[in-house]
Structure 1
């Protein structure tokens, strides 16, 4: 975004030293604000952990009625309401660490839980009165009536209330997505494949009685084959043993004196 803005400013001939210095100064101030917000959030978290506040929160959330579903619904409502007053950074550094331990205690998949929180915290950009997206739109939307450059018509200005009301449908879409993510976890956890319940797996191993000849299962008697003695070295027929089969005669080796040609 910053590179694109610089390219556009250069194309219009407005990329001067004063503009660059002003942009750098503004960026430095905003970055310092964000860093101090993160430091304050971390200090608050450490203080809260120091008085064992995280244990109280964990016991409170784990004991909610409804188990896993009740926990997800209450947490989603809590984060949604806090997003009116806290932006993404405070929620991520203060609230989310307090919710991980209860989620693990309830055996909730943390990737699924993280996606639910991420979709929920996206609404903080559109919540009045501190939504960043609302501020961005307010900075570019004209306050007073203006002439449209394409049609040439005289259009009325955009008020702050109109911007806030215009964000409501997008917030509703986010809320619907949160509900769908909770109701259908497979949308997130499809990478795990089909979940197999080990209690439904049955492995049948044959018993010794089923394998033994003439066992209790009524199997057929397996008799050992009766083979006649082979006639090794002969060329005639060999008489088979009683009830046996005829083995092929194997020719004997023919040995002679070696012949050496000079």
Structure 2
């Protein structure tokens, strides 16, 4: 076999092995070292079994990942998210927004979506948002006689918005993989993120207006809540979290701090917020640190494995084979984007977003110049596309998170059915962005020039 054929065999074996549930990071490292030993084998210069350049490559890749300035923001943002999650703010936030939006059709669903979006943006942890909102908002909506599919779909869709709306950990990982400016990525993702959340809100209100049985209007209380009380509720629930998010994001976008510095500010702000809500205990702090270290280690070892694997894959000529194959298809830029997004959409069924971004997206990155596709634009499309990986059967993780804590009478098929309309809105957002690219480029160009 030729080296390029071995590279393709290497990729095929990796896909085959991970389908059996082997740990992806360690599979990448093992295959990278195993095939790399063959690729770099030199019998004339070899003095002992470990005298092979693959071990030097592995050590260098590990050091490069751990010293990457962009990736240092990940543990800090994760810590901010975990500590905010334990600050007991979500129940107050949902109650306040539910009262504030009570005159809107589907008011409780609107409040749930806004709470999900804000909390998901602050934490970036889809499972935590969906689980917590499922415990808090779902029983309230079911008690108000909301349709089960309608209620569960809102929570599943809202909980995924944190991987798109900055400060998004997913965009940090993409920036590290592609070499794209994280500041420009954040600026480019703002309008698409709010546009998608806006489409969700339009759908919720529109469905509730067309079919009031899906979301019965809450009965008005005999004694309306005083305006001053409502303002105080907003000041003590909505604004603290919103100010924390805007402070972190503003510091990055306006160049006041690097992403790592802004993430450190956010982590400190999360601690202050938890202390202000009297939720900062030793056990919660220890648990937040443990979860942060565990998740960060997973992401970093995925990077180590991926970069080792991809270096060997490229050295054997696999990247050139993929390039020649794609060029031979004679596709237009639109056809290439559709093919790439279809592959990423399908990969979202068995894989997490982190694995897709770290392992498979780098395969597409060298092809972007051939079709004149900007990595910034491509990254925003991927961030939108990966919303569907949490919402599309059979491996819609948001649905499984929610099913795990939902009442027994809520079936998984009902959650799937409730989530599917939001998948359609994700595709609509992607079509709008391709048709009107300035939705991505306008803010980065306005703030930082071309």
- TM-score bracket relative to the smaller structure: 0.5 to 0.7
Query: How far did residue 83 of structure 1 move?
Result: 1.3
Unaligned residue ranges in structure 2 (runs of 5+): 1-80, 89-273
Query: How far did residue 84 of structure 1 move?
Result: 1.1
1:108 counterpart residue number: 373
In the alignment, which of 406, 421, 435 is matched to residue 142 of structure 1? 406
Query: How far did residue 136 of structure 1 move?
Result: 3.9
1:98 and 1:10 mapped to 2: Cα distance?
Answer: 45
1:175 and 1:124 mapped to 2: Cα distance?
Answer: 12
Once the two structures are superposed, what CA deviation does each residue of 1:209-261 show, in whole Å capped at 9, x if it has no partner? xxxxxxxxxxxxxxxxxxxxxxxxxxxxxxxxxxxxxxxxxxxxxxxxxxxxx
Query: How far did residue 59 of structure 1 move?
Result: 1.8
Matched, 1:172 2:437: no
1:181 counterpart residue number: 433
2:84 counterpart residue number: 4
Cα 1:17/1:3, change in 2 over 3 Å? closer
1:13 and 1:190 mapped to 2: Cα distance?
Answer: 42
2:299 counterpart residue number: 34
- Aligned residue for 2:383, secondary structure, equals helix
2:366 and 2:284 mapped to 1: Cα distance?
Answer: 48
Cα 1:24/1:54, change in 2 over 3 Å? same
Once the two structures are superposed, what CA deviation does each residue of 1:79-126 show, in whole Å capped at 9, x if it has no partner? 111111222212222222221222201222333223222222232233
* Worse-superposed segment, 75-84 or 105-114: 105-114
2:442 and 2:275 mapped to 1: Cα distance?
Answer: 47
Once the two structures are superposed, what CA deviation does each residue of 1:55-91 show, in whole Å capped at 9, x if it has no partner? 1112222333442121111111111111112222122
Once the two structures are superposed, what CA deviation does each residue of 1:31-61 show, in whole Å capped at 9, x if it has no partner? 3333333333333222322222111112222
Once the two structures are superposed, what CA deviation does each residue of 1:121-172 show, in whole Å capped at 9, x if it has no partner? 2322333455453344345x3233xxxxxxxxxxxx3233332332211112
Matched, 1:97 2:177: no
2:327 and 2:335 mapped to 1: Cα distance?
Answer: 10
What is the number of equivalent residue pairs in this alignment? 180
- Aligned residue for 2:350, secondary structure, equals coil
In the alignment, which of 307, 310, 317 is matched to residue 52 of structure 1? 317
Q: CA RMSD in A?
A: 3.2
2:394 and 2:306 mapped to 1: Cα distance?
Answer: 20
* RCO higher in structure (CA 8 A, sep ≥6): 2
Matched, 1:163 2:415: yes
2:195 counterpart residue number: none
Cα 1:30/1:159, change in 2 over 3 Å? farther
Cα 1:29/1:108, change in 2 over 3 Å? closer
1:198 counterpart residue number: none
TM-score where L is the length of structure 1: 0.56
Cα 1:14/1:37, change in 2 over 3 Å? same
- Aligned residue for 1:168, secondary structure, equals helix
Asked if the contact 1:64/1:71 (under 8 Å) is kept, the reply is: no
* Worse-superposed segment, 32-41 or 170-179: 32-41
1:22 and 1:188 mapped to 2: Cα distance?
Answer: 37
Query: How far did residue 175 of structure 1 move?
Result: 1.5
Q: Tell which structure's C-alpha radius of gyration is larger.
A: 1
Once the two structures are superposed, what CA deviation does each residue of 1:150-197 show, in whole Å capped at 9, x if it has no partner? xxxxxxx3233332332211112112222222233343344779xxxx
- Aligned residue for 1:127, secondary structure, equals coil
TM-score where L is the length of structure 2: 0.35
2:422 and 2:83 mapped to 1: Cα distance?
Answer: 29
Asked if the contact 2:350/2:395 (under 8 Å) is kept, the reply is: yes
